Structure formats: C-alpha cells, structure tokens
Amino acid sequence: MPVLTPTLLNTERLALRWPEERDRDAIFAIYSDPAVVRYWSNEAWSTLAQADEWIASRRAGNADGSGVCLVVTLAGSGELIGTLSLYHFFEQSRRCDIGYAFGSRHWGKGYAYESLHVLLEYGFRHLDLNRIEADIDPGNAPSGRVLERLGFRKEGYMPERWIVHGETADTVFYGLLKSYWDTKPS
C-alpha cells in the first residue's frame, strides 16, 4: 500500500487524523470501557501503557503503509471521540479489513457513519482498494446497521469463529466492493 503522509480527512462535523502521543488518555477512555469492547476478542484495557503501545504501533503502521489508523475528533472542539482502521492489507487482491470504535457517549449521533464514509472514499479512491471486509458479532446490531447503511452486504455466517473469555462467539461476515460503492445512492 502507498506509504501515507500524516493524513487529515474532514467532514462537516469531524476531523480525522493520525493518532498522537497526546491522545493517550482519550484513547484509554474508549478502550477501557467494557461497553465498547463488549463484542471484541480482547479484555477492556486496564493500564495507560496499553494506550501508549497502541498509539506507537498504529503510527508505525501508518508510516510503513501496513495499515491506516485514524482518530476521529470533533471539528469544533478537537475532542477525540473514536478510532477507525483499515488493516490486513492484501496488496495483490487490493483488499483489507475495517475496524472502528467510538466512545459510548458519542453513540447514536451518526459520527461512525460520517467518518467511515470519508475513510471508505479515501480507501477506494486514494488507496485503490477493491474490497473491504468486516467481521462482526451477531449481537452487535449498531455495528451491522452502520455497515449496511454504508453499503456493505452480509456475505456469510461463521459459527464459533472466536473464543472470547472462554465462550464461543459467532461471526457475521460483511463485504463492500468498489463496484457497490461506485453505484451506491448518496
């Protein structure tokens, strides 16, 4: 994938940029919240060092082109409200995965849709991706709704794909092709 210069994407309400060291408290607040990680395969974070490691690894991935990770901030105040990633790039197939998480007090305001929309546009136009995939827990209805609003199509169901905290979890698998994106009604 092309190596990125520090990326800034904007929407009406939001500014998306590379994570920076000064974001540690805000990022920790998101990933230490059990409500945010409820459907993930990791435990909620318990130390600020986890935020430091996350920021360093995501910045390194952005710098070497192995991923695209941006934080979502409110355009007016600069408050950090969420994170978005494109990762697991398969260059020859022009394919990757997508991930996202927002602080729970910012849910239900359309920020995920708005920021993912501009990231997908960047992925298809600037990174020349052909296909983007998402793997979500069937219980994560808000995540499924945002994916479907963005044009992702449900492609499959994989029972017991994960074992989380000793319990099996199923996957609903979604895909978005560039051809769907190009013909999506705006």
List the 153-164 sheet strands across, edge first: 8-10, 14-17, 68-74, 80-90, 95-102, 131-136, 167-177, 153-164
Cβ 141 to ligand COA, closest distance in Å?
8
Distance CA 4, CA 6 (A): 6
Binding of ligand COA by 140 (CB under 6 A)? yes
Binding of ligand COA by 142 (CB under 6 A)? yes
Identify which of residues 113 and 180 has a Cβ nearer to ligand COA in the complex: 113
By rule CB under 6 A, what string of x and - marks binding of each residue 26-45 to ligand COA?
----------x--x------
Give the tokens for residue 93.
């197939």
Cβ 40 to ligand COA, closest distance in Å?
7
Among 43, 134, 52, 121, smallest CA distance to 88 is for 134
61-120 residues in contact with ligand COA (CB under 6 A) are 100-102, 107-113
Identify which of residues 68 and 146 has a Cβ nearer to ligand COA in the complex: 146
CB neighbours (10 Å) of residue 105?
A: 11
Give the tokens for residue 25.
């408290």
Q: Which residue's beta carbon is nearest to the bound ligand COA?
A: 110
Identify which of residues 55 and 84 has a Cβ nearer to ligand COA in the complex: 84
Binding of ligand COA by 139 (CB under 6 A)? no
User: How many CA atoms within 13 Å lie on the side-chain side of 97?
Assistant: 9
Out of 62, 83, 85, 143, the only residue in the binding site for ligand COA (CB under 6 A) is 143
Task: Identify residue 36 by its one-letter amino acid code.
Answer: V
Distance CA 136, CA 53 (A): 24
Binding of ligand COA by 54 (CB under 6 A)? no
- Contacting residues toward ligand COA, per CB under 6 A: 36, 39, 100-102, 107-113, 136, 140, 142-143, 145-146
